[in-house]
C-alpha cells in the first residue's frame, strides 16, 4: 500500500483556483520531485498536505490513516505532523534557539523526550548534515546553506515517515545550493521518503525516482524520472524541460 | 534655615520613602503588569473567543482614562461599598492594571511581528501551539519588546508620584510635606526631581545591560 495517497485536492485563494483536483500517490522510499512553472500550485500542494494551508476539498490516506484535507481536528493534525517533516524555502530556524536546540525542540517540547536523549539524537543528526561543529551557534551566525542543513537535521530528528521539501535551495546563492543538495542526495540514498518541490533539474533527473509535473493547479504528467526526462508524453512537459534543461 | 542645609537635611527624608515606597511600588506593580500583559497579549494573539473581546474592552478603558482618575476610583470606589482601602495596596493594583494594558499592546505588537514561519516550523516538528508560544514566539517577542518595556518601567517610576494623591507617602508626598513646613518649594522640588533622575538613570543602565545580554542571538553577520 502506498505511504501517501491524495485524492481530489482543491484549493482556491482570492485570486483564483490554485489546485484544481490533484491526485498524487507516493510509495514508501520514493523520492518524488515536483516540477512546474512558478504559480503552478506546487508549494500550495505541499503545504496542504501538512495542513499549513486548509484545502477546500480533498482526502488523504497517510500510512493507512485517512484524513480530510478540509476538515480535520487539532488532534488528527498534530498526530499527522508528528510523522512528517517539513523543510522550508526560507529555513525558518527558531532564531532564539541554538543550532542544537533547533534540532531537539521537536523532541523535548513536541514529544516530551528527556534532554539527554534528545541531545544525543540532535548531535547525530547534525553530524549527518555536517553541522555538528556549529551546535552552539545561533541561526543568524550561519550562512543560508548551513541554516538549511540544520533545518534538514531538525526535520530528520523526529524520525518522520516522509519529509516535504519546499524549494529548499531557491533562497540560496548558487554556490551554496550544492552543500544542501549533497545532503539531500545522501538522504535520498538512505531510503527516506521525500517529496521535493524544486527547480533543480539536475537533482530531479539524477536523484529523484519519480517526477510530478504541475501546471495551472493540475498534475499534467507523472512518472518515473527516466520516463519523464527521456520520453515525456505531454507537449507542455516537453516544453518545460527544454526551457529549463 | 540655609537652603543648602535644608537640602542636605531633607535628602534622607525624601530618599527613604523612595526606597521603602517608590521602589517596591514600582517593582511589584511592574512585575504584576508584565504577567497581566503576557496573558492579555496571548489571549489576543491566539484569538481566544470572548476573552479577546474582554481584553479589548480592558485596554480601551485603561488607555482612555487618566491614571490619576483610575487611582481615585480604586481608592474611593470600594469605600462606597463599605470596604476600607489601603493606599499602598490600591496603588499596586491600579498601577499594575494600568501598565498591564500598555505593555499588553507592546507585547502583542511584537508577537505579531515574529515571522509566521516560526509558528509553522514549530507545528512541523510536532510542537503544540502553546509549546511554540512558550519556547519560540514569546522569547522572541520579549527580545523585541525589551526597549519599549524598559521605557514603560522608567515612566512608571515617575508615575508613582501620583500615588501621593491616595495617601501613599512616596517620595513626592514626603517632599510636599517638607515643603509645606519650610516654604522652600523650588529647591525641594528640584531635589526630588534629581532623585527621580537618579532612579531612572540606574534603570536605564540596567536596561542597556539587559539589551546586550539579550542580543546574543541577533548579533553577528546575518545569513544570505
How much is the average pLDDT of B161-171?
90
Mean residue pLDDT of chain B comes to 91
Q: Which is higher by pLDDT, B208 or A153?
A: A153
User: With an 8 Å Cβ cutoff, are A143 and B115 in contact?
Assistant: no
Among the partner-chain residues B118, B125, B222, the one whose CB lies closest to the CB of A140 is B222
Q: What percent of chain A has a predicted confidence (pLDDT) above 70?
A: 100
Nearest Cα neighbor of B153 from B102, B217, B112 is: B102
Q: Do B125 and A110 touch (CB under 8 A)?
A: yes
Only one residue has cell 527580545, namely B143
Smallest Cα distance from B146 to chain A, Å: 14
Model confidence at B218, pLDDT cuts 50, 70, 90, reads low
Contact between A60 and A6 (Cβ < 8 Å): yes
The span from the CA of A234 to the CA of A4, in Å, is 25
B194 and A CB contact within 8 Å:
no
The larger pLDDT score, comparing residue B81 to residue B98, is at: B98
Q: Tell whether B130 lies on the interface with A, counting CB pairs under 8 A.
A: no
Q: Residue holding cell 520531485?
A: A33
Mean pLDDT of B128-142: 95
Angle between helices B23-45 and B87-113 (to 10 degrees): 40
Phi, psi of B206 (to 5 degrees): -60, -40
Which pLDDT score is estimated for B221?
A: 36
Q: How many Cα atoms within 13 Å fall on the side-chain side of residue A135?
A: 14
pLDDT at residue number B216: 63
Q: Is A91 left (phi over 0), alpha (psi -120 to 50) or beta?
A: left
Closest Cα of chain A to B97: distance in Å?
30
Kindly give, in sequence order, each residue whose CB lies less than 8 Å from that of residue A92, ignoring residues fewer than 6 positions away. A151, B115, B117, B118, B120, B121
Task: Report chain A's mean pLDDT, rounded to a whole number.
Answer: 94
| Helix (H) or strand (E) run with residue B54 in it | helix B51-64
Is the CB of B218 inside 8 Å of chain A's CB atoms? yes
Please indicate whether, in this complex, the C-beta atoms of B125 and A155 are within 8 angstroms of each other: yes
Best probe of the A interface among B128, B143, B223, by most A CBs < 10 A, is B223
Query: Which chain B residues are within 8 Å of A175, Cβ to Cβ?
Result: none
Q: Residues with Cβ < 8 Å from A176, sequence gap 6 or more?
A: A143, A144, A145, A169, B224
- CA distances B153 to A20, A68, B109, Å, are 54, 50, 18
* Nearest-Cα residue of chain A relative to residue B223: A143
What are the pLDDT digits (tens) for A209-238?
Answer: 999 999 999 999 999 999 999 999 999 999
What B183-187 contacts at long range (C-beta under 8 Å, 24+ apart), as own/partner pairs, is B184/B3, B184/B6, B187/B3, B187/B6, B187/B7
CA-wise closest residue to B119 among A169, A94, A79, A74: A94
Whether B224 has a pLDDT exceeding 80, the answer reads: no
Q: Cα–Cα distance between B175 and B27 in angstroms, integer?
A: 21
Percentage of chain B beyond pLDDT 70 is 96
CA distances from A107 to A51, A84, A121, A122, B139 (A): 20, 13, 9, 9, 19
What element of type H or E holds B129? helix B129-132
Under an 8 A CB cutoff, do B223 and A146 touch? yes
Q: Where are the alpha helices (DSSP H) in chain A?
A: 42-49, 74-81, 99-108, 115-128, 144-157, 174-189, 201-206, 225-230, 235-244
pLDDT for res B220: 41
CA dist B82 and B95 (Å) reads: 23
d(C-alpha A94, C-alpha A142), whole Å: 13
Closest CA relative to residue B143, chosen from B63, B217, B199:
B217
Cell numbers 479589548 correspond to B56
Q: Is B214 on the interface with A (CB under 8 A)?
A: no
Per-residue confidence band for B1, with pLDDT thresholds at 50, 70 and 90: low
Interface test with B, best of A44, A86, A95 (most B CBs within 10 A): A95
CA distance to partner chain A, nearest, from residue B125 (Å): 5
Residue B217: per-residue pLDDT:
67
Of A50, A144, A173, the CB nearest to B124: A50
What is the DSSP code string of A216-227? TTEEEEEEEHHH
- What's the ipTM? 0.94
B115 CB neighbours in chain A (<8 A) are 92
What confidence score (pLDDT) does residue B83 get? Answer: 87
pLDDT tens across A34-66, in order? 999 988 999 999 999 999 999 999 999 999 999
Q: What is the pLDDT of residues A69-90, one digit of tens each?
A: 999 999 999 999 999 999 999 9
Counted residue by residue, chain A has a size of 245
User: Helix, strand or coil for residue A11?
Assistant: strand
CB-CB neighbors (< 8 A) of B138 in chain A: none
Distance CA B171, CA B196 (A): 9
φ/ψ (deg, to 5) at B174: -60, -40
Q: Specify the residue for cell string 485536492.
A: A9
Q: Tell me, what's the pLDDT at A244?
A: 82
The answer to whether A94 touches B121, Cβ cutoff 8 Å, is yes
pLDDT at B222 (0 to 100)? 35
CB contact under 8 A, B125 and A105: yes
Residue pLDDT, tens place only, A116-154: 999 999 999 999 999 999 999 999 999 999 999 999 999
A105 to B139: CB separation less than 8 angstroms, yes or no: no
DSSP state of B34: H
Around Cβ A82, how many Cβ atoms within 10 Å? Answer: 17
> pLDDT: is A193 or B8 the higher one?
A193
**Tens digit of each residue's pLDDT (9 = 90 or more) over A169-190:** 999 998 899 999 999 999 999 9
Report the C-alpha gap between B209 and B223 in whole angstroms: 26
Amino acid at each position: 500500500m502506498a505511504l501517501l495517497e491524495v485524492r481530489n485536492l482543491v484549493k482556491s485563494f482570492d485570486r483564483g483556483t490554485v489546485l484544481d483536483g490533484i491526485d498524487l500517490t507516493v510509495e514508501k522510499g520514493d523520492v518524488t520531485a515536483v516540477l512546474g512553472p512558478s504559480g503552478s500550485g506546487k508549494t500550495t500542494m505541499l503545504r496542504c498536505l501538512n495542513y499549513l494551508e486548509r484545502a477546500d476539498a480533498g482526502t488523504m490516506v497517510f500510512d493507512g490513516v485517512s484524513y480530510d484535507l478540509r476538515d480535520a481536528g487539532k488532534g488528527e493534525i498534530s498526530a499527522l505532523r508528528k510523522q512528517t517533516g517539513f523543510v522550508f524555502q526560507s529555513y525558518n530556524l527558531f532564531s532564539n534557539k541554538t543550532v542544537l536546540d533547533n534540532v531537539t525542540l521537536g523532541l523535548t517540547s513536541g514529544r516530551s523526550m528527556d534532554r539527554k536523549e534528545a541531545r544525543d539524537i540532535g548531535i547525530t543528526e547534525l553530524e549527518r548534515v555536517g553541522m555538528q561543529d556549529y551546535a552552539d551557534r545561533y541561526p543568524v551566525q550561519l550562512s543560508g546553506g548551513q541554516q538549511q542543513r540544520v533545518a534538514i537535521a531538525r526535520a530528520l530528528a523526529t524520525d518522520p515517515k516522509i519529509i516535504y521539501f519546499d524549494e529548499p535551495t531557491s533562497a540560496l546563492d548558487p554556490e551554496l545550493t550544492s552543500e544542501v543538495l549533497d545532503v539531500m542526495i545522501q538522504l535520498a540514498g538512505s531510503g527516506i521518503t521525500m517529496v521535493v518541490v524544486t527547480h533543480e533539474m539536475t537533482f530531479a533527473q539524477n536523484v529523484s525516482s519519480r517526477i510530478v509535473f504541475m501546471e495551472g493547479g493540475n498534475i499534467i504528467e507523472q512518472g518515473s524520472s527516466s520516463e519523464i526526462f527521456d520520453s515525456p508524453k505531454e507537449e507542455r512537459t516537453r516544453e518545460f524541460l527544454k526551457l529549463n534543461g | 534655615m540655609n537652603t543648602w542645609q535644608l537640602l542636605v537635611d531633607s535628602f534622607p527624608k525624601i530618599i527613604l520613602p523612595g526606597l521603602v515606597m517608590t521602589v517596591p511600588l514600582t517593582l511589584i506593580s511592574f512585575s504584576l503588569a508584565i504577567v497581566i500583559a503576557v496573558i492579555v497579549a496571548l489571549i489576543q494573539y491566539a484569538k481566544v473567543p470572548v476573552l479577546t473581546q474582554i481584553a479589548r474592552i480592558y485596554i480601551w478603558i485603561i488607555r482612555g482614562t487618566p491614571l490619576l482618575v483610575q487611582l481615585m476610583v480604586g481608592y474611593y470606589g470600594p469605600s462606597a461599598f463599605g470596604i476600607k482601602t489601603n493606599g499602598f495596596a490600591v496603588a499596586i493594583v491600579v498601577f499594575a492594571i494600568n501598565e498591564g494594558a500598555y505593555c499588553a499592546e507592546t507585547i502583542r505588537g511584537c508577537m505579531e511581528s515574529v515571522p509566521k514561519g516560526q509558528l509553522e516550523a514549530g507545528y512541523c516538528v510536532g510542537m503544540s501551539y502553546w509549546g511554540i508560544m512558550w519556547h519560540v514566539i514569546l522569547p522572541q517577542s520579549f527580545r523585541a519588546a525589551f526597549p519599549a518595556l524598559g521605557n514603560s518601567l522608567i515612566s512608571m517610576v515617575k508615575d508613582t508620584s501620583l500615588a501621593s494623591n491616595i495617601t501613599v507617602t512616596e517620595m513626592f508626598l514626603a517632599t510636599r510635606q517638607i515643603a509645606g513646613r519650610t516654604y522652600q518649594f523650588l529647591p525641594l522640588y528640584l531635589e526630588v526631581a534629581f532623585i527621580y533622575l537618579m532612579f531612572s538613570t540606574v534603570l536605564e543602565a540596567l536596561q542597556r545591560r539587559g539589551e546586550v545580554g539579550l542580543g546574543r542571538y541577533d548579533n553577528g553577520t546575518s545569513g544570505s
